[in-house]
């Protein structure tokens, strides 16, 4: 211990330690950009794959009887085998779950089979782990009914865990898209008023908005693909509304459908929607600012006021103590 303290107090040792820390920090600073993955490129690649899937599906409709073209990734073999053997798609795969997976950003057969597989395996796994822990390694003082209830609760958590995971992903994606939607409206308005078609406007906005919201860029890229290959544009707009579930994007979809049906000026309608989006974002910010003082009341009472009283009262108490002790 004495030699360690002596080494710590040595100037050369401290200098070498500081140089080593500085060198390590420099290496980490230079290496961090190389280690970061390009999330935007990955998501746009997934959007391109989805576009190829849509193209393949539309070609199958146009050229019936030809050999089926499959551009989708195949699911893992063991998951597919389990799902098909137990026929999970019949009693676990619902339309609501498929819609939630689409809104969460999971598409294709691999995502469906993976969700069904984990929806079966998760409750069974938690059930087995709870039995092993409670009955073999757990506290023996627990009554039998309490252990049985804990095992059933673990199985129930396993049943709800995949749904909770999807709901959290959906909420995260919708928050990101809602934050970037007003800027996307402004960009789309600029593109439309400059003379671009709606397909080019969607494509340009999807490229520019990716730095702010990758999920929104992905959804707009998919809409661009659907506008290029679906026979009815209204279906592409409605698919965008269903996949996102964001109110501001639903307003854009409504405006686009009305403009497509009645031939109304698209630029003027988009300008109104963009202004409403900015006003709505300002109202949300004002509500958050107005709710801040009530939220700060309890922390101030618990943390600030005792410290403030201690700072004010302590010098007076010390002075009174010295005065009394002097007398």
Is a pLDDT exceeding 80 seen at residue 32? no
DSSP collapsed to 3 states, 150-187: HHHHHHHHHHHHHHHHHHHHHHHHHHHHHHHHHHHHHH
List pLDDT tens digits, range 254-288. 888 888 888 778 888 888 888 887 788 788 888 88
Number of domains in the chain: 1
To which residue do tokens 């970061």 refer?
Answer: 36
15 burial level (CB within 10 Å; 0-12, 13-18, 19+): exposed
pLDDT at 196: 86
pLDDT greater than 80 at residue 237 = yes
Provide the pLDDT confidence category of residue 41 given band limits of 50, 70 and 90: low
CA–CA distance, 217 with 166 (Å, rounded to integer) = 20
The reported pLDDT for the residue numbered 168 is 92
pLDDT range class, residue 66, cuts 50, 70, 90 = very low
Task: With respect to residue 79, please indicate whether it lies within any of the assigned structural domains.
Answer: yes
Higher pLDDT residue, 115 or 209?
A: 209
State mean pLDDT over 303-310: 83
- Residue 120 within any structural domain of the chain: yes
Answer whether 224's CB lies under 8 Å from 199's CB: yes
Q: What is the mean pLDDT of residues 63-88?
A: 55
Q: Is a pLDDT exceeding 70 seen at residue 242?
A: yes
Highest averaged pLDDT of the listed ranges 16-25, 86-95, 170-179: 170-179
Of the ranges 240-254, 272-286, 295-309, the best mean pLDDT one:
240-254
Q: What is the mean pLDDT of the chain?
A: 78
Give residue 5's pLDDT. 62
Per the domain annotation, does 31 fall within a domain?
Answer: no
Question: Is residue 254 included in any domain, yes or no?
Answer: no
Average pLDDT over residues 16-40: 69
Mean per-residue pLDDT for 60-81? 51
pLDDT at 58: 56
Q: Which two tokens stand for residue 177?
A: 């898209």
Q: Pick the residue with more confidence: 108 or 258?
A: 258
Please, what's the largest Cα pairwise distance for the chain? 110
The mean pLDDT value for 115-120 works out to 81
Which domain covers residue 105, as residue numbers?
66-173
**pTM of model > 0.85:** no
Q: Would 116 be classed as within a structural domain? A: yes
First to last CA, the chain: 50
Region 159-181 average pLDDT: 89
Reported as a single tens digit per residue, the pLDDT across 1-23 is 566 566 556 667 667 777 778 77
Among 124, 208, 108, 214, which residue's Cα sits nearest to residue 161?
124
Region 27-35 average pLDDT:
67
* Whether residue 64 has pLDDT greater than 60: no
Worst-scoring range by mean pLDDT, 89-93, 272-276, 305-309? 89-93
Residue among 36, 40, 71 nearest 54 (CA): 71
Question: How does residue 70 score in pLDDT terms, banded at 50, 70 and 90?
Answer: very low
H or E stretch at 320: helix 305-326
The angle that helices 198-208 and 214-229 make with each other, rounded to 10 degrees, is: 160
The percent of residues above 90 in pLDDT, for the chain, comes to 4
At 65 the pLDDT is: 40
Q: Which residues contact 277 (CB under 8 A, 6 or more apart)?
A: 181, 182, 185, 248, 251
Q: Look at residues 87, 96, 113, 107 and name the one whose alpha carbon lies nearest to residue 163.
A: 96
35 has a pLDDT exceeding 80: no
């Amino acid at each position: 211990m004495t030699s360690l303290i002596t080494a710590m107090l040595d100037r050369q040792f401290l200098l070498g330690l500081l140089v080593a820390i500085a060198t390590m920090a420099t290496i980490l600073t230079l290496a961090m950009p190389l280690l970061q993955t390009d999330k935007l490129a990955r998501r746009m690649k997934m959007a391109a794959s989805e576009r190829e899937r849509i193209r393949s599906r539309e070609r199958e409709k146009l050229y019936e009887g030809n050999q089926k073209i499959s551009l989708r990734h195949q699911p893992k073999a063991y998951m597919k085998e389990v799902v098909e053997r137990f026929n999970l798609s019949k009693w676990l795969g619902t339309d609501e779950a498929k819609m939630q997976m689409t809104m969460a950003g999971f598409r294709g057969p691999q995502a469906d089979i993976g969700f069904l597989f984990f929806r079966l395996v998760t409750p069974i796994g938690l059930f087995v782990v709870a039995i092993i822990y409670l009955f073999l390694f757990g506290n023996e003082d627990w009554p039998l009914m309490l252990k049985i209830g804990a095992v059933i609760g673990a199985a129930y958590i396993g049943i709800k865990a995949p749904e909770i995971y999807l709901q959290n992903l959906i909420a995260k994606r919708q928050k990101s898209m809602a934050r970037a939607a007003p800027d996307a409206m402004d960009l789309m308005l600029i593109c439309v008023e400059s003379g671009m078609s709606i397909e080019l406007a969607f494509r340009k906005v999807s490229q520019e908005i990716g730095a702010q919201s990758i999920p929104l860029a992905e959804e707009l890229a998919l809409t661009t693909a659907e506008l290029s290959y679906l026979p009815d544009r209204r279906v592409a707009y409605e698919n965008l509304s269903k996949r996102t579930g964001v109110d501001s994007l639903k307003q854009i979809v409504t405006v686009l459908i009305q403009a497509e049906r009645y031939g109304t000026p698209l630029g003027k309608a988009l300008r109104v929607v963009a202004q409403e989006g900015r006003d709505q974002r300002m109202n949300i910010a004002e509500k958050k600012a107005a709710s801040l003082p009530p939220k700060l009341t309890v922390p101030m009472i618990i943390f600030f006021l005792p410290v403030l009283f201690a700072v004010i009262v302590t010098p007076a108490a010390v002075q009174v103590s010295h005065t009394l002790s002097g007398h």
